[in-house]
Amino acid sequence: MHDSLRSLLRHRKAAVGGSLLLFFLLLALVGPWFVMDPSELVGRPHQPPSSAHWFGTTGQGQDVLAQTVVGARETLAVGFAVGALVTLVGALVGVTAGYLGRRVDDVLSLTTNVFLVIPGMPLAIVLGAYLPSGPLRMVAVLTVAGWAWNARVFRAESLALRGRDFVSAAVVTGESHARIVSRELLPNMASLLGSSFIGNTLYAVGAQVGLEFLGLGDVSAVTWGTNLYWAGNDAALLTRSWWIFVPTGLGIALVGFALTLVSSAIDELTNPALRVHKPAPLPRGTTLPVHVDRPAPGVLLSVQDLCIDYATEKGASRVVDTVSFDLAPGEVFGLAGESGSGKSTIGSALLGLLPSSARVTQGRILFNGMDVTALEGAGLRAFRWRQVSMVFQSAMSALNPVLTLGEQFHDTLAAHGRVSRTASYARARELLGMVGLSPDLVTAYPHQLSGGMRQRVGIALALALEPRLVIMDEPTTALDVVVQKELLQRMLELKQRLGFAILFITHDLPLLLALSDRVGILQGGKLVEVNTSEGLRTGARHPYTQLLLSSFPHLVAGDVSVTPHPPAVSELSVARPSTRIAAIPGGHR
């Protein structure tokens, strides 16, 4: 907790927003002691700013500076009180409904939905008209009108956490429901609680000012809302007395700006993906011109001295370090390594999918002689999927859940040329049949398919434009070994039929040795060894490769049927791919 607060204080947005917010809080707490009575008539009406009255006077002769300073106290007090109450009520109702479920969830969700259906502002107006005047009325009105949306948000979050193992462990150990909610669920929603409180406070300040401006507050009190109410009644706009409403309006805007900055800082600190870092700088003198070299004979893809850096708070972090390898047409080349070794980053770089914080700082990726790292805009769009496509790791995430399979094929084909929906559907049926699925599935949605079927659809989409290279980024994750075997056997059959090459990325070394013509081993971003599958199994040179092989005790020569390979090649050289399909055994995971 202490480290989180320290990180928040060091965050630029949090520092600026917190400083502004602290200024207004101090102004609201101690400011009224240093200004005159805001209700006292001290000068001529509509007097502009002067040495006697720094912010001028109102249409009734009151000091604008005093009204602005004193009005901040009740406005901010009501805002923070409503923010806290709305967050508390919404969290308790939402978490209770999501965790307990069944009838409790039905009742609480029905109540929440009723309040969501009722428009918030009319509800606040009706309640404000019947409750006694005063700041407590405003707190009650805004709390009743604003808690329901927060309850929906916290219910959704608790539903996601309810199935986690640590909650199940708490249930098994006999913890009470109240303790599970307070000690297991709510602490895991700390960032959501913080951002909700800030957002609710911002809502409360705006809603309070709006209601009071309409005359639904206590017009005899001095708040920012009543300041604007009296400015309107005194015709400040018609008389061009801008100084009457500008200070209050500026105060409201600055408080809203400060709360927004703090909320954004909390989001960025709790979700690293939202943090914006400067890209890693290129070495001095380095340029990335688009050029085409004469491709080497028998080479489709050539990765040359590739370095990729990620920008972090502590500086550039190198995740791919001087990696070089070649891939021949029709070859299956495997990249293996532990998580974080840079496998998927290389695949992303090949398609220009690196995040904004990552940059290729050295080397080239040549596809048929063209440097793809320098492609941008229309050139990159034309290159993707026509020349190189990808089968993503999670088929359910890669497929749009609200579009039928036929529509997703049509989107892919239409993005690369004018094609009718009829032609797209015909091509989709053909591709689905190629991967062993029924052509009638063009009208199905992704959720109607099993994991293996969805991954087959991903393969069919990857082959829609007949690319020369298909990147398979851990496509068998979460699939059982039988489905893996069928899926990859089908992929090899299609490769043999269509002649494309495969860059297979996975941490499953036995699978790679069964599938690939050659395998590259990555460790800490470095390519430590490249050899044929048979060469790695029988004569691995690098200690890390030997360690990986030893982690699979069953991995012996009889486990995998490997097709004959050409004579041994030197490390990092291009070997001609086998023309036969390797048999992929199952049950050796």
Q: Where do the structural domains in the chain lie, given as residue ranges?
A: 2-273, 395-466
Per-residue pLDDT tens digits for 142-158: 898 889 989 999 999 98
Buried b (16+ CB within 10 A) or exposed e, 367-396: bbebbbbbbeeeeeeebbbebbbbbbbbbe
Q: What is the pLDDT of residue 573?
A: 39
Comparing CA positions, the residue from 278, 269, 201, 194 lying closest to residue 9 is 269
Q: Are 529 and 509 in contact (CB under 8 A)?
A: no
Residue type, 144: V
- What are the distances in angstroms from CA 69 to CA 55, 157, 226, 230? 11, 40, 13, 16
Q: Are 78 and 139 in contact (CB under 8 A)?
A: yes
Cβ-in-10-Å burial (0-12, 13-18, 19+) of 443 comes to exposed
Distance, in Å, from the CA atom of 294 to the CA atom of 277, rounded to the nearest integer, reads 37
Distance, in Å, from the CA atom of 216 to the CA atom of 203, rounded to the nearest integer, reads 17
**How many other CB atoms are there within 10 angstroms of residue 260's CB atom?**
15
Distance, in Å, from the CA atom of 410 to the CA atom of 199, rounded to the nearest integer, reads 41
The total number of residues written for the chain in this structure: 589
Structure tokens at 256: 């809203």
Distance of CA 453 to the CA centre of its chain: 26
Q: Are 4 and 269 in contact (CB under 8 A)?
A: yes
3-state secondary structure 121-187: HHHHHHHHHHCCCCHHHHHHHHHHHHHHHHHHHHHHHHHHHHCCHHHHHHHHCCCCHHHHHHHHHHH
Distance, in Å, from the CA atom of 67 to the CA atom of 65, rounded to the nearest integer, reads 5
Regions of the chain where pLDDT drops below 70 = 1-9, 128, 270-297, 395-396, 478, 553-589
pTM: 0.61
Q: Are 226 and 211 in contact (CB under 8 A)?
A: no
**How many other CB atoms are there within 10 angstroms of residue 231's CB atom?**
24
Structure tokens at 342: 């840079």
11 Cβ contact list (under 8 Å, min separation 6): 265, 268, 269
Residue type, 128: G
Q: What is the pLDDT of residue 560?
A: 41
- What are the distances in angstroms from CA 332 to CA 275, 501, 513, 519? 37, 6, 11, 9
Structure tokens at 231: 């400015």
Q: Residue 566: how many CA atoms within 13 Å on its side-chain side?
A: 13
Positive or negative torsion for Cα 81, 84, 87, 88 = negative
Distance, in Å, from the CA atom of 256 to the CA atom of 210, rounded to the nearest integer, reads 14
Q: Are 181 and 118 in contact (CB under 8 A)?
A: no
3-state secondary structure 382-443: HHECCCEEEECCCHHHHCCCCCCHHHHHHHHHHCCCCCCHHHHHHHHHHHHHHCCCCHHHHH
Q: What is the pLDDT of residue 518?
A: 93
Beta bridge partners of 335: 505, 520
E strand or H helix that includes residue 532 = strand 526-532
- Region of 315 on the Ramachandran plot (φ > 0 left; ψ -120 to 50 alpha; else beta): left
- Domain at 2-273, CATH from 1.10.3720.10, 1.20.1300.10, 3.40.50.720, 3.20.20.100: 1.10.3720.10
Q: What is the pLDDT of residue 470?
A: 93
Structure tokens at 576: 């001609």
How would you classify the pairing of strands 388-391 and 358-367?
unpaired
Q: Are 499 and 532 in contact (CB under 8 A)?
A: no
Positive or negative torsion for Cα 574, 580, 581, 585 = negative
Sheet holding 469-473, edge to edge: 388-391, 469-473, 501-505, 332-336, 518-523, 526-532
Distance, in Å, from the CA atom of 131 to the CA atom of 138, rounded to the nearest integer, reads 9
E strand or H helix that includes residue 472 = strand 469-473
Positive or negative torsion for Cα 34, 40, 44, 46 = positive
How would you classify the pairing of strands 315-327 and 332-336?
unpaired
- What are the distances in angstroms from CA 354 to CA 140, 357, 367, 462? 49, 8, 17, 19
